[in-house]
A and B are shown apart, each in its own frame.
Chain A
Amino acid sequence: MFSPSFYQIAPVIAVCASLAAVPLIALSGSRPNLREFWTFLAAGVKFAMVFALAGWVLAGNVVEVELIRVLPELSIALRVDSFGMVFALVSSFLWMVAATYTIGYMRKLNEHAQTRFMVCFALSLCAAIGVAFSANLLTMYIFYEMLSLSTYPLVAHHQDKEGRAGARKYLAFLLGGSVGLVLPAMIVIFAITGTVNFADNINSGIIPADTGSTLVVILFFACLFGFAKNGIMPMHAWLPGAMVAPTPVSALLHAVAVVKVGVFCTIRVMLYVFGIDLMDDLNLGVITAYIVSFTIVTASIIALTKDNLKARLAYSTISQLSYIILGVALLAPAAIEGGIIHIANHAFSKITLFFCAGAIYVATHKKNISEMGGLGRVMPFTFGAFAVASLSMIGVPPVAGFITKWYLLVGALDAGQLGIILVLLASTLLNVAYFAPITYHAFFGKPPAGEVHGGGIKEAPLIMVLPILLAATISVILGFYPDIMMQFVKMVTS
C-alpha cells in the first residue's frame, strides 16, 4: 500500500508513460537496442502503475483525477474503477508480451521504418489506457480518436496499394463512426443532461428520466454503431481490411487494444451513460442482443469461407467481440459478468492465435490455411499453443473461453432469452467448424503436393515463441482461476 496521493498520480503516469517514451524512441532510431529498451521501460512502468492501482481498486477505492477543465462544465479527467481496471490490466500486460514478440518479428523480417512503428505502438497504448481510465465521455472520445490516428500508420505500414487502401478504409469507418455518430450523440447528451461524466453505478445512467424515448433510442444506436471499433455489422468492414498490417499490429491492436477499446467504449456508454434501468425500460437490451447475435453468426459463417489465416482470425474476432456486447445487452448480472470477463479471456486467446499466425509467416512465409498441412509436426510449440487458444475460442473447459460461455448461458437463462441460447450453441458449433480443421490439418494432414517439411522449416525464433507460450498458458490459467479477473468484474455488477 502506498499513500493516497500516490494513487492520484499513478493513473496519470500509467497513461503518459508510453507518451513520454515517444520522443525517446524516436530519437534513438539509429540504436535499435536502446530504442527497444525505452519501449520495455515504458511498458514496465505502465504495468507497474496499473498493477499498483489494481490493488487499490480491489480495496474498494475509486481514483478520480481532473487534468484540464476545458469548458466550464466539461473537463478532461481520469477515473480508475473496477471496470476500467479489467481492460487496463489486460492491455498493459499484453503490451509487454507483444513488445517482445514484435521485436522478434520485425527484426527477423527486417521490416522498414521500425522506429515509426514503435513510436505509433507506444502512442496507441497511451490511448488504450487513456480510454480505460477515462472519467467522462469527452476524455474517452479524445483517447478513442487518438487511438484511431496513431494506429493509422501501423495499418498503412507496408505503404503499398493494398496497405493504403486498408488504412483508408480503416480511417473512413472509424472516423466516420466517431465524428459522424458518437460526437453528435455526446454533444446532445451534454445538451440534455448538462454533464458527460459517467454514472457511479451501472443502474441509473445519467440520462434524465423525462427525456423523450425516441431521442434516447437514437442516441443509443448512434453510440452502438458509432464506436465502430467494436466490429458490429455493418460497421465491421474495416477490420478484415486492416489485416494487411504486420502481424504484431493485428495481434496487439486488432485482437486486443483497438477492438477492445471499441467494445469497452460501447459497454461504458451502455452501462454508465444509459444505465440498465433505462435500457430495460425501452427494451434496448433485447434489440441489441439480437443485433449482435446476427453479427456473431454471420461473421462465423464468413470465417468458414476464408483460407487466409489472418482473415479467418479477423472474422473470428468480429464474432467474439459481439459476445462481449451480447453479454452486457442481456442485462442479467451473470451475463454482464460473462461479457466483461470475455474482454480478458478473448484478449489472451486471440493474441495467441495472431502470434501463431505471425510465427508461421516468419518461419515459412505461408499465409493460407490450405498450405499448412503437416506444419504442426515441425512447429509443435506454435501449433500446440494454437490448439489451446482455439479451444478457448470454442469454449472447451478448462481454457478461459469456457468461463465466458458458462456465464453467458447462465445469464441468457436468467434473462429468459432462449433464442440467445440457440445463438450461442450455433456459434460454438461454427467455432469448432472453423478452428478444429486448422489444428487437425497441421498435425495430421499432409504437406501440399511437391513440398516436404524437412530440415528447412523450424520454429520461429525463441523471442517469438516464448510470448506465444506465455499467452497460451495464461489462457489456461484464467480458465482454472477465473477469479483473477472475476473479482474486478464482480465489483462492476455489485
Chain B
Amino acid sequence: MIDQAPVFIVIIPLLAALLLVFATPLGPRFAYGMLVTALAATLAAALATLNLVVAANQAVHYRMGDWLPPHGIELVIDHLSGVVLVLVAGCALLTAIYSLRTAEQDNPDRLNQYYSLFALLVTGLLGMVASGDLFNLYVLLEISALSSYGLLARGGGQAYYATFKYLIVGTIGACFYLLGVGYIYIMTGSLNMADLAVILSRPELQESVSVKIGFTLIILGIWIKMALFPLHAWLPNAYSKAGTTTACLVAPLMTKVSVYIMLRMMFTVFSADYIFNQIAWSELVIYLASAAAVVGMLAALAQRDLRKMLTYIIVAEIGYMTGGAWLANAAGFTGTTYHILADGLMTLCLFMAVGAIIYRTGETTKAAMVGIFQKMPITAVVLVIGAASIIGVPPTCGFFSKWYLIQGAAQAGAWVFVAALLIASLVAAVIFFRLLEVAFFGDLDAAPAAPEDGHGQGHGPAVARAEAPLSMLIPMMISAAGLIVLGIYTREVVSYFISWSIPAGF
C-alpha cells in the first residue's frame, strides 16, 4: 500500500475535484470538509512518498498501469521533488483550512465549483512536480493554468480583464514550452526525462542547433510562466485582483513550481555542463535575475495596494531563485532550491496575514495597517515574522537562503548579483518598516495626533480588539512557525534533501 503513495498524491485531489462538483446539494460545509480531508490525505501521501525516497536514498519511480518508460506514464520522485511535493500539498492544505470564511464570501453562489477548481489546480501543480515526462508535464501545466484562470477570474473588479491578459500571456508561455518540447522530440525521439538525459549527452546532440533552440524555447516558456522580469507584467494584476483564497493558493505555489520545472529542465533533462558550456546566452541570465530582484522590489516599494506590493515582491524573489540556479555552483543551487521552500512558505504567510487584515478592515492600502498591533496582535506578529523572512532577518529561513545565494554569487564572482540581493533586502526592509511603523504607532499623516500631554507623546484612542477568525489564525500561525522552524533546521533540510539533488559537476 505504502508503495502506491506516489500515485495517491495526484489521484486524491483529482478525485476530490470531480466529486466536489457532484456534492453541491450537500452544502458548503460538506464541500469545505471534503476539500480539507482530501488535501490532508494528499499531504499524508506526499509525506509517505518523501519517507520512501529518504529510506531508499534514491528516486522512487512509479509506472502508471505498469507501462514501461519511455512509452508509459512515469512519476519520478527524488529528494528534490519529494520536498517540493510536501511544500505544495502543505501550502494547499493550509490555504484550504484558511478558506472557511473567505471562499464563501468571494463565491456565495458557486462554492463547490470553486473548490473543484481549487483541487484541480493542486492536482496540476503536484502532477508537474511528480512527472517524469516532458509531455505529461505540459498537460499538467495546462490543467493547472486553466484552473487558475477560472479561480483568478472569480475575483472582483478588474479581475476579468487581468485574468484575460494572464490567459493570453500564459498560453503563449505554454506554447513556447510545447514548441521546445517538439524540437527536442524530433531530435531525440523521446519524452521521458531520464531517457532524454542519456540521449542528449551524445556529442552530436550537444552541438546541435535544433536542441539549443529547443532548450531556449522551453526555458523562455517557463520564464513567462514564472514571471521572470521583464516577462512578469501579467502577474501583479492577475494575482492582486483575485479573491483572498485564490491569491493565497496561487501566489506562493504557481511561480515556485515553475522554478522547480526550470531546475528540472536545466539539471535533469539537460546538464550543467551543457548549459554553461554550450548555451551562449547562459552568462547573461545572472544580469536578468539581478535586474528582476531590484526592479521587483522597487516596484513593490511604489505600490499602495498591499497585495499588489506582495505580488511585486514575488517578482523580485523569482529573480533571486533564477540567479541562484544560473550561478553554476553548489551554493547557488542549494540557495535556489532552499528558497523554493522558504519563499513558498513566506509568501503564503504574508498573503494569509494581509488577507486576514483586509478581511477585517475592508481596506486594501496602508490605511488597513493602522493600529494593527492593537487590533489584531496575532496577525500582526505573523506579518512581522513573514516580513522578517523576506528581509532576511535571522533566524527565519529567508536569512539562510540569502546566505547560500550570496555565498554562491561570491564564489562565482557574480558581484552584480550580490549587490542586487543586498539592495533588494534593504528595499524590502524599507517596504515593511513603513507598514509596521503605521501598524505600531498609528498614522500621523492620516489622522491628527491625539491630545498631547506636555512633551509631544500622543496616546492614540484605544482600538477595539478584532482578531481574525480561528480558521484563519491557525494556518497563519503554522506558516509563521514554519518559517522559523525551517530556518533553525536549515542544516537538516539541506543535508537530507537538497544536497542529494546537487547536479554533477558542481
Contacts and interface: CB of A to CB of B under 8 A. Distances in A.
A188 B410 contact: yes
Given A71-B491, A72-B495, A162-B456, A180 B437 contact: no
Interface string B409-446: 01100000010001001100110010001001110100
Contacts of B437: 156, 164, 167-168
A149 interface: yes
Contact of B490 (A70, A109, A160, A171): A70
B403 A71 contact: yes
B115 to A, nearest CB: 39
B400 A158 contact: no
A230 to B, nearest CB: 20
B169 to A, nearest CB: 34
B172 to A, nearest CB: 38
A110 B411 CA distance: 55
Given A160-B458, A187-B407, A69 B426 contact: no
A72 B406 CA distance: 17
B391 to A, nearest CB: 8
Interface string A186-199: 01101100000000
B205 interface: no
A453 interface: no
Contacts of A141: 394
A112 B406 contact: no
Nearest to B488: A68
B41 interface: no
A190 B407 contact: yes
Main secondary structure of the interface of A (DSSP, over half): helix
Given A68-B488, A71-B490, A142 B394 contact: yes
B294 to A, nearest CB: 13
B202 interface: no
Interface string B467-506: 0000000000000000000011011001100000000000
A33 interface: no
Interface string A309-346: 00000000000000000000000000000000000000
A368 to B, nearest CB: 15
Given A71-B490, A158-B457, A179-B425, A164 B394 contact: no
B29 interface: no
B393 interface: yes
B277 to A, nearest CB: 24
A179 B428 CA distance: 11
Contacts of B449: 160
Interface in B267-305: none
Contacts of A158: 455-457
B173 interface: no
A142 B403 contact: no
Interface residues of A, number: 39
B344 interface: no
A465 interface: no
Nearest to A161: B444
A111 interface: yes
A360 interface: no
Interface in A146-204: 149, 153, 156-164, 167-168, 171-172, 175-176, 179-180, 183-184, 187-188, 190-191
B426 A175 contact: yes
A205 to B, nearest CB: 19
Contacts of B456: 158, 160, 162-163
Interface in A48-103: 68-72, 76
Nearest to A157: B457
A183 B494 contact: no
Nearest to B388: A149
Given A112-B459, A156-B441, A159-B457, A180 B426 contact: yes
Interface residues of B, number: 38
B406 A184 contact: yes
Contacts of A70: 395, 400, 487-488, 490-491
A70 B490 CA distance: 6
Given A72-B495, A149-B393, A183 B422 contact: yes
B429 A179 contact: yes
B483 to A, nearest CB: 14
B180 interface: no
B124 interface: no
Nearest to A111: B457
A145 interface: yes
Contacts of A164: 437, 441, 444
B457 A69 contact: no
Contacts of B488: 68, 70
A191 B283 CA distance: 21
B490 A191 contact: no
Given A68-B488, A71-B490, A180 B422 contact: yes
A175 B391 CA distance: 11
A63 to B, nearest CB: 22
B272 to A, nearest CB: 20
Given A71-B491, A72-B495, A187-B410, A179 B400 contact: no
A71 B418 CA distance: 20
A175 B441 contact: no
Given A70-B488, A71-B490, A145 B393 contact: yes
A22 to B, nearest CB: 13
A153 B440 contact: yes
Given A179-B422, A179-B426, A184-B418, A71 B494 contact: yes
Given A153-B440, A191-B410, A176 B395 contact: no
B394 A72 contact: no
Contacts of B491: 69-72
A161 B442 CA distance: 12
A16 to B, nearest CB: 15
A142 B395 contact: yes
Contacts of B407: 187, 190-191
A73 B444 CA distance: 47
B392 interface: yes
A402 to B, nearest CB: 38
A184 B406 CA distance: 7
A176 B423 CA distance: 9
Given A160-B456, A162-B456, A187 B429 contact: no
A112 B457 CA distance: 7
Given A70-B491, A141-B394, A175 B429 contact: yes
Nearest to A191: B410
Given A69-B491, A112-B457, A183-B406, 6 more contacts: A70-B400, A153-B440, A163-B456, A167-B437, A168-B433, A172-B430
6 contacts: A70-B487, A159-B458, A171-B433, A176-B426, A179-B429, A180-B426
Interface of B: 331, 391-395, 400, 402-403, 406-407, 410-411, 418, 422, 425-426, 429-430, 433, 437, 440-442, 444, 449, 453, 455-459, 487-488, 490-491, 494-495
Closest 9 CB pairs of A and B: A160-B456, A187-B406, A191-B410, A142-B394, A159-B441, A188-B410, A158-B457, A191-B407, A70-B490
